[in-house]
Every structure is written in structure tokens, then in C-alpha cells.
Amino acid sequence: MVRVRGLTTRIGGRVLHDNLDLELWPGEVLGVVGGSGSGKSVLLRTIIGLIQPEAGAIEVLGEDMLRLDDVALRALESRWGVLFQDAALFSSLSVAQNIAVPLRERLAMAPPLLDEITRLKLALVGLPADTGGKFPAELSGGMRKRAGLARALALDPQLLFLDEPTAGLDPIAAGAFDALIRDLRLSLGLTVFMVTHDLDSLIAICDRIAVLVDKRLIIGTMAELLRNPHPWIQAYFRGPRGRAALAGKDGQAVG
């Protein structure tokens, strides 16, 4: 779905990625972790074309991102959905209007159908129907994230980019969000690229984990990474929080 080869990114004179490789397989959920400021969000933004890399090749859904013209890029953009860190809902539009934006912009649809699909998406992400009439400022953080996810899913994308979907949510809301993404992935057949810091969601929904260390990605399943001797990876997964999250998983498996 996504293939990145030899990516080098430089922001403000600082090299964030140096000869980075990444492959995202169809139908999987890939979690990207890394220290603060290591360039996880920058990687996401580079893949979706918001940041120009210095060198390397990026292929998304079989298209070469760096050689696309505007028309082809717009067509490609409608095949993926992005949930930004703070949801990035348009604050002057109601939630329903926010979800309808991509549908309105890209497709010719009769207003009743537009309305039905908007409400369907709201229900899909678990928001009550009356949320549609509210404005982003009136919503809690968790509801904003759900509304942002509904907007990202508006065009039924094959590929979903999530930037810290559970950051700032309480554990119950974060758990519900994880379950939501897992359900949607099963029913909609989504491929998910997820930047996260949440060890619990890594364990709960990610098939593979990519660790951004030393400007490269080390990709593997949780079991493989636990065996990796790199000190940062060991500190990340074997630290007190990592151990607690892993213990919770084992407990679940036993219970």
C-alpha cells in the first residue's frame, strides 16, 4: 500500500530521516513509535505529500508520490483518509458539515443522500446523531477525534493515516477508540498507518510496529522487537510502562 525507499528529510537544517525504508502491507495496522521530536509526524506528513523530502522514493497505493501532477494527486488523496493530531476539524462548520466537506468537494451527490451518508458515518464512529449539528468547539477531545475520524472515513478510503489517535484521551475512551479502529478495519478492510505513543493501543490493534530510532525505522512484530538489542527499543518496551502494558496483555490472554 505504501512503499518508502531511501527517504531523507531535513527540517530547518536538521536531518530527521536518513535513508529510511518502510513498507505497509495491505490490510495491516502499522504502529509507528519513536521519541518526541524524532520525526514520526513528519514521516506521516511526508508520505501524504505535505512535506517535500530531500531524497528518496515514496509510493502510495501504487502511485509515485513525487512524480504525480496535481490532478492525479487529488484523485489519489480521495483514496486515503487522514486524522490529524488535534482532529483539525474546520471550526466554522458544524460536525455534519465537516464530514460532508470531502463528499461535497469530490462527488456529485443529492442533498438527501449526502445527509444520509453523513449521519451513517457519525453512527459508524459511535457519535450520537445530534452531534452533527454541534460545532467542534462544543465537543470534548474524544468526540472531536471521533468526528475527525468520521471525516477521514467520508470517502471510504482504503488507507487511513492516524496521528496519535488516542493521545489526550482517558484510558476508557482510548480503549474504545482502539476497539473502534479494529472494528472498522475488519468491516471496511482498511489499511492503517498509525503514529502513536500509546503502548496499549500498540499491543491491542497493531500487527506490526515500526520504531523510529537513529533516523531509520526498525519494523517488526512486538515479539521481534522485544528481542531487538537496541537500547532505545529495550528502554521503550521493557520500561515500567511497557512492562505494565505487556503484563496486561498476558493477563488478558490467560483470562
Partner 1 sequence: MQSAEAGFDIHPEGDAFVLRAAGRWLVASAGALDAALRRLSGIAPGRRLRIDLAGVERLDTAGAWLLLRTSRAFAAHGVVTSFENVAPDFAPLLDQVAKGEPPSLPPARHEGLVERLVDGIAAVGERTVEAALAGRDLVGFFGLVTVTLLRTLRRPALLRWASLVTQMDRTGVSALPIVGLLSFLIGVVIAYQGADQLRRFGAEIFTVNLLGIGILRELGVLLTAIIVAGRSGSAFTAEIGAMEVNEEIDAMRTLGLDPIEVLVLPRLIGLVLTLPLLAAYADFMSLFGGGLMSWVALGIPPPLFVRQLHEAIGEWTFWVGILKAPFFAATIAQVGCHAGFQVSRSAESVGRLTTLSVVRSIFLVIIIDAAFSVFYSRVGI
- Which residues, in sequence order, are CB contacts of 159 under 8 Å at separation 6+? 1, 2, 24, 60, 61, 79, 80, 81, 190, 191, 192, 193
Considering beta carbons, is residue 72 or 123 the nearer one to partner 1? Answer: 123
For partner 1, the closer of residues 57 and 184 by Cβ is 184
Considering only 11, 15, 25, 92, the residue that binds partner 1 (CB under 8 A) is 92
Among 108, 223, 253, 254, binds partner 1 (CB under 8 A): 108
191-195 vs 159-163, strand pairing mode: parallel
Q: Residue ranges of the alpha helices (H) in the chain?
A: 40-47, 70-77, 95-106, 111-124, 141-152, 171-188, 199-205, 222-227, 231-238, 240-254
Q: Which of 61, 66, 68, 18 is nearest to 43 (CA)?
A: 18
Biggest CA pair distance of the chain: 57
Residue 15 vs 186, nearer CB to partner 1 = 186
**Residue located via cell numbers 502510495:** 60
Q: Which of 11, 15, 72, 188 binds partner 1 (CB under 8 A)?
A: 188
138-167 residues in contact with partner 1 (CB under 8 A) are: 153-156
Q: How far is the CB of 218 from partner 1 (least distance, A)?
A: 33
Stretch that binds partner 1, among 52-60, 109-117, 220-228, 235-243 (CB under 8 A): 109-117
What CA dihedral angle connects 71, 122, 50 and 57, to 10 degrees? -80
The reply on whether position 52 binds partner 1 by CB under 8 A is: no
* Cross-strand partners of 11: 14
15 sits near partner 1 (criterion: CB under 8 A): no
Query: Any contact of residue 119 with partner 1 (CB under 8 A)?
Result: yes
Instruction: Based on the shown chain and the rule CB under 8 A, indicate whether residue 129 belongs to the binding site for partner 1.
Output: yes
* Residue 109 interacts with partner 1 (CB under 8 A): yes or no: yes
Q: If binding is defined by CB under 8 A, does position 186 make contact with partner 1?
A: yes
How are strands ordered across the β-sheet holding 55-60? 14-24, 2-11, 55-60, 63-64
Looking at the Cβ atoms of 10 and 25, the one nearer to partner 1 is: 25
Q: Do residues 213 and 181 touch, judged by C-beta distance below 8 A?
A: no
Smallest distance, Å, CB 136 to partner 1? Answer: 7
- List residues binding partner 1 (CB under 8 A): 91-92, 103, 107-110, 112-113, 115-117, 119-124, 129, 135-137, 153-156, 183-184, 186-189
